[in-house]
């Protein structure tokens, strides 16, 4: 278990990689779906609070561990634990992360497949002539056709694993970085269009004017899970990226940049989508299909709508792709470091994730009546358990490790920031983030 010697070529390269991991379906698909399902503003407020109070400190902890260990997550944890006189069993935390990433990628590929289908549909111009009802019905019909859903899921898995297997991730990240400003611009155009619709005021009010009646324990749990998910934190995925961080870069600065951008993208998507929802009289709580029904409606109202919609799905695909690579990379690195060839590792992980994703893919067709636990389909389970339970548990242990187990001197060094900031981060993590996490997780158990 030797140290890695490679480094990202520049400070920007690290921020680009982490942004690539963070910005994805979580912002544009999952965030609006969750806000809608959880009653609007209260969820949004809690999500922002959790990003700042939990997400940021844990993200710092995670990157710091990777950077101090300069190895794959499991090896880094073992090394740092042993060095500080702690237990070797901390490596199991790496394994927990691997399992979490595995489960997340299984449904991430299914939903990314939905957008692949839309990409083709968008350019074929089918959306322009359809009414909102027809667009909704067409989406349901697509989900109900197992062959098409699985075809797209498979295609997306192949795209992801090919990049991981042949190590061309950095090329894709540069492309991503080049194109993401266009995605943000498109979202801005959408928000501009949204401002002309009748639902705009309602959407703003519903999103930003907190209504305390909407609060419940489920809302709190969902908001916490989403904060981890959207930042790509809690499963060691960023630990793996931290290992390649160049010397002299400050972790906190990089992390704050990424988190703010991630919130901004989610807010833009949210304002655009809920303006459409309220002007068309749709139901905000219409579930995981929300984005797939509202955005085509919005784009089809714009002149040149086909081109807008098509470009949007191309950009979304690239954003999604860099996130799925980040999900897959640590698992492949783990197998690779155990002695398997990189391509073999990618193939094994890819096939495993694909197989486990099939029940999610079929949850809207053949398996729609199968509900293994309390009214939840396989898709419901895959989209909630890893995100709402496993990521926060992983995040809790990662934070605990960084502030109570790891050697403090090493942590200061790895932070790449001044001592005052180190102490601030450690106090917030010890006395705010960790207790808050325990509190919410305990609440989930009882
Ligand atoms: N952050 C990604 C998104 O918002 O789409 C999803 C994700 C990537 C979650 C990597 C977890 C992870 F480890
Ligand atoms: Na995100």
Mind listing the pLDDT tens digit for each residue in 15-46? 989 999 999 999 999 999 999 999 999 999 99
Distance CA 208, CA 263 (A): 14
Which residue lies with its CA nearest to atom 13 of ligand 1? 232
In ligand 1, the atom with minimum distance to the C-alpha of 262 is: 4
Nearby residues for ligand 2 (ion, Cβ within 5 Å)? 22, 26-27, 230, 262
Q: How far is CA 61 from CA 71, 195, 406, in A?
A: 15, 40, 10
Phi and psi torsions of 373, nearest 5°:
-130, 135
Model confidence at 1, pLDDT cuts 50, 70, 90, reads low
Task: Kindly indicate whether the ipTM for this predicted assembly is greater than 0.95, answering yes or no.
Answer: yes
- Evaluate whether 315 touches 187 at the Cβ level (below 8 Å): no
Distance CA 100, CA 105 (A): 9
- Quick one: angle between helices 290-300 and 251-279, nearest 10? 70
Nearest to 241 by CA among 327, 346, 344: 327
Percent of the chain with pLDDT over 90: 82
Which residue carries 């237990």 as its tokens? 87
- Is the pLDDT assigned to residue 189 strictly greater than 80? yes
Distance CA 24, CA 160 (A): 14
Distance CA 282, CA 275 (A): 10
Give the Å distance between the CA of 263 and the centre of ligand 1. 13
3-state DSSP of 298-315: HHHCCCCHHHHHHHHHHH
Classified by CATH at the fold level, domain 11-445 comes out as Amino acid/polyamine transporter I (1.20.1740)
DSSP string, 147-208: HHHHHHHHHHHHHHHHHHHHT-HHHHHHHHHHHHHHHHHHHHHHHHHHTTSTTHHHHHHHHH
Residues in contact with ligand 1 (CB, 6 Å cut-off):
21-22, 24-27, 101, 104, 229-230, 232, 235, 237, 323, 326-327
Query: Distance between terminal CA atoms of the chain?
Result: 41
- Is the pLDDT assigned to residue 168 strictly greater than 80? no
The pLDDT assigned to 288 comes to 96
- Is the pLDDT assigned to residue 171 strictly greater than 80? no
- Is the pLDDT assigned to residue 403 strictly greater than 70? yes
Which residue lies with its CA nearest to atom 9 of ligand 1? 232
* Two tokens, residue 184: 């943000």
204-239 pLDDT, tens digit per residue, is: 999 999 888 889 999 999 999 999 999 999 999 999
* Two tokens, residue 381: 């389970």
Nearest to 259 by CA among 97, 62, 400: 62
Q: Which of 33-42, 164-173, 274-283, 409-418 has the lowest mean pLDDT?
A: 164-173
Q: State if pTM tops 0.95.
A: yes
Which residue lies with its CA nearest to atom 12 of ligand 1? 232
Count Cβ atoms below 10 Å from residue 272 Cβ, excluding itself.
29
Q: How far is CA 146 from CA 41, 269, 362, in A?
A: 36, 29, 6
103-162 pLDDT, tens digit per residue, is: 999 999 999 999 999 999 888 877 877 888 899 999 999 999 999 999 999 999 999 999
* Two tokens, residue 331: 């698992």
């Amino acid at each position: 278990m030797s140290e890695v010697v490679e480094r990202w070529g520049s400070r920007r390269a690290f921020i680009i990689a982490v942004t690539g991991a963070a910005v994805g379906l979580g912002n544009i698909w999952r965030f609006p779906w969750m806000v809608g399902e959880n009653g609007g503003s209260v969820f949004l407020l809690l999500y922002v609070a959790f990003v700042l109070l939990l997400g940021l400190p844990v993200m710092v902890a995670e990157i710091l561990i990777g950077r101090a260990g300069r190895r794959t997550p499991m090896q880094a944890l073992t090394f740092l634990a042993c060095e500080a006189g702690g237990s070797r069993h901390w490596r199991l935390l790496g394994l927990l992360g691997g399992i979490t990433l595995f489960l997340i990628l299984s449904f991430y590929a299914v939903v990314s497949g939905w957008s692949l289908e839309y990409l083709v549909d968008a350019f074929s111009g089918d959306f322009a002539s359809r009414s909102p009802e027809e667009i909704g019905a067409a989406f349901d019909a697509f989900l109900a056709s197992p062959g098409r859903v699985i075809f797209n899921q498979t295609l997306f898995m192949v795209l992801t694993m090919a990049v991981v297997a042949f190590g061309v991730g950095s090329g894709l990240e540069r492309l991503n970085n080049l194109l993401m400003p266009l995605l943000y611009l498109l979202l801005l155009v959408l928000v501009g269009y949204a401002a002309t619709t009748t639902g705009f005021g309602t959407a703003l009010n519903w999103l930003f004017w907190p209504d305390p009646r909407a609060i419940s324990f489920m809302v709190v749990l969902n908001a916490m899970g989403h904060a981890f998910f959207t930042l790509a934190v809690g499963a060691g995925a960023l630990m793996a990226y931290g290992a390649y961080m160049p010397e002299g870069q400050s972790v906190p600065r990089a992390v704050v940049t990424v988190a703010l951008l991630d919130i901004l993208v989610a807010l833009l998507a949210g304002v655009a989508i809920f303006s459409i929802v309220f002007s068309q009289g749709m139901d905000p709580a219409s579930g995981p299909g929300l984005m797939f029904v509202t955005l085509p409606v919005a784009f089809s109202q714009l002149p040149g709508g086909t081109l807008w919609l098509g470009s949007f799905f191309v950009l979304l695909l690239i954003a999604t792709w860099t996130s799925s690579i980040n999900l897959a990379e640590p698992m492949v690195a783990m197998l690779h470091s155990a002695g398997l060839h990189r391509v073999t590792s990618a193939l094994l992980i890819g096939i495993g994730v694909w197989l486990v994703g099939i029940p999610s893919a079929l949850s809207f067709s053949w398996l729609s009546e199968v509900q293994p636990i309390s009214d939840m389909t396989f898709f419901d389970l895959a989209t909630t358990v890893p995100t709402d339970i496993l990521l926060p548990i992983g995040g809790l242990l990662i934070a605990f490790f960084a502030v109570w187990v790891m050697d403090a001197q090493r942590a200061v060094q790895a932070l790449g920031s001044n001592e005052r900031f180190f102490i601030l981060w450690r106090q917030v993590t010890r006395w705010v983030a960790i207790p808050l996490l325990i509190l919410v997780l305990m609440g989930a158990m009882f």
